[in-house]
């Protein structure tokens, strides 16, 4: 539906000593597009198709000031000729994040809501204008998962023992689980949020009914907390880039790759297993780090 400026995703085998003991491959969704990078485009596509079918002209969604989903929605809407708006959690900050600035540049209108109102409205759309097509926060929903399932369209999942991805809402992992219905591959969601205990249940809520829930595992790996980083994480990001030429973001994918190493060290991933890591993109989030933090 939206082809220009989009690049093909590809599979990369990892060769450095960082992942000794396993056969690791990375599905590089981060190269897809510089704004709508990674998993976001996959999660959005069926929502936007439905909006078009319903002849809605305005898309509304929800997110925080650093939401990759919000900026991806803004860009996709601009490309496809929709008007867009987002409800943003919290008061308007004195200086806008790069994410919100970019969203506005793509023509998105932003409405700031207090945390209480935000929480209420994101669960109850009844007070919102019925003519708007609403995409839930983070693209969380059945259509988001169905779109995310197409991430694996050109991958033979039977070649892998594990498929591992970072989780925010879990929509992406729900889609991966949909795509792995007919195989024994284990899907591991790396939970980067602290204390998000319902993640497993929330994933199954939006996945197809006939997925193999026994093959879904959650590994809690907040690494200090959501969107928090340590010097150790930054060293890891620079090392991963130097050794494998893979840029990561500090919120999701740096922790994802670190978690894979940790899962192997803890012997949760068996020796010599074949592991597919989903690089879900999100690199624009690194713009909020101080200059010169990263070598890429
Ligand atoms: C949004 C995002 C996620 C989380 O995806 P969910 O489908 O909400 O679990 C993971 N990685 C990156 C890079 C993201 O931007």
Query: For residue 2, what pLDDT band results from cuts at 50, 70 and 90?
Result: low
Instruction: List ligand 1's pocket residues with C-beta within 6 A.
Output: 38-39, 43, 68-69, 138, 166-172, 249, 252-253, 280-282
Q: Rounded to whole angstroms, how far apart are CA atoms 257 and 276?
A: 11
- Cα of 210 from ligand 1 centre, angstroms: 23
pLDDT value of residue 37 = 85
* Residue 86 CB partners (closer than 8 Å, separation 6+): 60, 61, 62, 63, 67, 70, 73, 74, 103, 108, 109, 110, 111
Span 172-183, average pLDDT: 97
Taking the whole predicted model, whether its pTM rises above 0.95 is answered as yes
Q: What is the mean pLDDT of the chain?
A: 95
Q: Which atom of ligand 1 is nearest to the CA of 256?
A: 11
Strand-by-strand arrangement of the 162-167 sheet: 10-13, 23-28, 274-279, 162-167, 186-191, 216-220
Q: What percent of the chain has pLDDT over 70?
A: 99
Q: Which atom of ligand 1 is nearest to the CA of 171?
A: 7
Residue-wise pLDDT tens digits, 241-265: 999 999 999 999 999 999 999 999 9
Residue-wise pLDDT tens digits, 187-245: 999 999 999 999 999 999 999 999 999 999 999 999 999 999 999 999 999 999 999 99
Query: For residue 148, what pLDDT band results from cuts at 50, 70 and 90?
Result: very high
Comparing 37 with 72, which gets the higher pLDDT? 72
Angle, helices 231-244 vs 253-265, to 10°: value is 90
- Cα of 180 from ligand 1 centre, angstroms: 19
pLDDT reading at 276 higher than 80: yes
């Amino acid at each position: 539906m939206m082809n220009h400026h989009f690049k093909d995703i590809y599979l990369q085998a990892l060769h450095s000593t960082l992942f000794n003991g396993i056969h690791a491959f990375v599905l590089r969704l981060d190269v897809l597009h510089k704004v709508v990078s990674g998993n976001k485009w996959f999660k959005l596509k069926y929502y936007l198709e439905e909006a078009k079918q319903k002849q809605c002209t305005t898309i509304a969604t929800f997110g925080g000031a650093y939401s990759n989903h919000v900026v991806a929605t803004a860009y996709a809407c601009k490309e496809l000729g929709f008007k867009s708006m987002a409800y943003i959690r919290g008061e308007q900050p004195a200086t806008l994040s790069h994410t919100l600035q970019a969203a506005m540049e793509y023509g998105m209108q932003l409405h700031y809501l207090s945390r209480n109102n935000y929480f209420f409205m994101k669960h109850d759309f009844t007070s919102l204008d019925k003519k708007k097509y609403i995409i839930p926060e983070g693209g969380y929903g059945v259509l988001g998962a169905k779109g995310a399932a197409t991430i694996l369209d050109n991958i033979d999942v039977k070649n892998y023992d594990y498929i591992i991805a970072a989780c925010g809402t879990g929509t992406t992992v729900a889609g991966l689980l949909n795509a792995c219905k007919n195989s024994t591959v284990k899907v591991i969601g790396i939970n980067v949020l602290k204390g998000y205990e319902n993640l497993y249940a929330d994933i199954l809520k939006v996945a197809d009914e006939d997925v193999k829930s026994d093959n879904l595992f959650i590994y809690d790996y907040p690494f200090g907390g959501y969107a928090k980083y340590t010097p150790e994480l930054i060293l890891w990001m620079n090392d991963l880039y130097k050794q494998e030429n893979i840029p990561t973001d500090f919120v999701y994918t740096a922790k994802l790759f670190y978690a894979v190493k940790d899962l192997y060290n803890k012997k949760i991933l068996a020796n010599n297993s074949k592991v597919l890591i989903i690089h879900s993109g999100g690199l624009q989030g690194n713009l909020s780090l101080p200059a010169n933090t990263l070598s890429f």
